[in-house]
C-alpha cells in the first residue's frame, strides 16, 4: 500500500486541479442554496416556488395596470365634468351603475357577520370525524349570501371580496375561492342595507345561521351604523354578451 498523501509526479497536480474545480462547484452551489432561502427547498418544490413567484409577479403587474386605467378614467371624467348640464346627469347615472357593478367602494349602515370554524374540533383536541362537520363550506356561504340579498342588501363583501353579479363562491380544498381569490377562515360578510331586516333575515329559525350555531360554529352577528364595503378588484369584462340596443330617439 502507498500512502495517498505522499507526493507523486502524476498525483498531486491532477488531484489539486480537480479539487480546485470541485471546490468552485461546491462554493457556487452552497451560495446558491443559501440564496434560495432554505436547503429544504428541494427539486420537487422548486418548480412550485418558481410557478408561485411567476404568478405573484403577474398579479402585481395586473394590479398596477388596473390602477393606471382607473386613474385614466378619473382624468377623463374630470375633463368631461368641466362642461356642466347633460354630462353632470350622465355622470350621476354612471355612478349609480358603478355601485351596482361593484366598481366603487361604498359605505352605509348594515351588518357584519363573522363565521369561525366549529369548536367541536378544538375542544376535543384531536380531529373527530370528517372535516365535513367542523369546516364552513362553500354552500354555507352561498346560502348566507343568498339570505343577505333576499333581505335587501345593496352591497355585500366576503373577506373584502365584493360580491357582484358574476361572483362565484366555490370550494378549493380546505379554502374558499371568491372572485378567483382564495380566502381562508374566519369568513366575514359585510352587508349594507336595512339593519333590522338583515338581522332578522339571518336569525330566521331553522335558517343557515341557526344550523351553523347548532353545530357549534363561532357565529358573530353585529349590526353597524356605518361600514365599508370595498370595490371589486377586477371589473368584469363582457366578451360575449352584447347589449341589444333599441332604437333611441
Partner 1 sequence: MIFLPIVALVLGFLLVYRFSIPSAWADYAAIAILAGFDALIGAVRARMEGQFDEAVFLSGFFVNMGLAMLLSYIGDKLGVDLYLAVVVALGIRIFTNLGRIRGLFVRARLAAHRARHASPSH
- Which residue in the set 48, 50, 65, 66 belongs to the binding site for partner 1 (CB under 8 A)? 50
User: Largest Cα–Cα distance of the chain, in whole Å?
Assistant: 108
Q: Nearest distance from residue 246's CB to partner 1, in Å?
A: 57
Q: Nearest distance from residue 173's CB to partner 1, in Å?
A: 25
Q: Nearest distance from residue 11's CB to partner 1, in Å?
A: 6
Q: Where are the alpha helices (DSSP H) in 82-137?
A: 86-101, 119-124, 131-134
- Angle ∠(64,70,73) on CA atoms, nearest 5: 145
For cell 372535516, name the residue.
Answer: 131
**Which CB sits closer to partner 1, 30 or 90?**
30
Q: What residues numbered 75-104 form the site for partner 1, per CB under 8 A?
A: none
233 close to 182: Cβ distance less than 8 angstroms: no
Q: Nearest distance from residue 53's CB to partner 1, in Å?
A: 10
Q: Which segment (35-43, 170-178, 188-196, 218-226) binds partner 1 by CB under 8 A?
A: 35-43
Q: What is the DSSP string of 52-82?
A: HHHHHHHHHHHHHHHHHHHHHHHHHHHHHHT
- And the C-alpha cell for 130? 370528517
**Per CB under 8 A, 19 contacts partner 1:** yes
**Which CB sits closer to partner 1, 8 or 174?**
8
Amino acid at each position: 500500500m502507498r500512502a495517498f498523501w505522499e507526493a507523486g509526479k502524476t498525483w498531486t497536480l491532477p488531484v489539486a486541479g480537480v479539487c480546485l474545480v470541485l471546490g468552485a462547484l461546491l462554493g457556487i452551489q452552497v451560495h446558491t442554496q443559501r440564496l434560495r432561502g432554505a436547503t429544504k427547498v428541494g427539486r420537487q418544490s422548486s418548480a412550485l416556488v418558481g410557478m408561485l413567484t411567476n404568478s405573484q409577479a403577474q398579479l402585481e403587474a395586473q394590479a398596477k395596470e388596473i390602477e393606471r386605467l382607473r386613474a385614466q378614467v378619473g382624468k377623463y371624467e374630470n375633463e368631461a365634468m368641466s362642461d356642466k348640464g347633460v354630462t353632470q346627469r350622465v355622470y350621476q347615472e354612471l355612478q349609480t351603475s358603478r355601485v351596482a357593478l361593484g366598481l366603487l367602494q361604498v359605505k352605509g349602515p348594515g351588518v357584519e357577520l363573522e363565521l369561525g370554524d366549529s369548536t367541536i374540533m378544538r375542544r376535543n383536541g384531536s380531529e373527530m370525524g370528517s372535516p365535513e362537520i367542523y369546516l364552513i363550506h362553500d354552500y354555507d356561504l352561498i346560502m348566507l349570501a343568498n339570505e343577505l340579498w333576499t333581505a335587501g342588501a345593496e352591497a355585500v363583501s366576503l373577506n373584502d371580496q365584493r360580491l357582484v353579479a358574476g361572483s362565484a363562491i366555490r370550494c378549493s380544498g380546505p379554502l374558499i375561492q371568491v372572485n378567483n381569490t382564495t380566502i381562508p377562515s374566519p369568513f366575514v360578510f359585510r352587508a349594507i342595507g336595512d339593519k333590522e331586516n338583515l338581522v332578522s333575515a339571518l336569525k330566521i329559525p331553522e335558517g343557515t345561521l341557526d344550523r351553523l350555531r347548532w353545530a357549534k360554529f363561532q357565529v358573530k352577528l353585529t349590526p353597524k351604523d356605518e361600514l365599508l364595503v370595498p370595490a371589486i378588484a377586477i371589473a368584469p369584462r363582457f366578451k360575449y354578451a352584447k347589449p341589444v340596443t333599441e332604437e333611441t330617439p
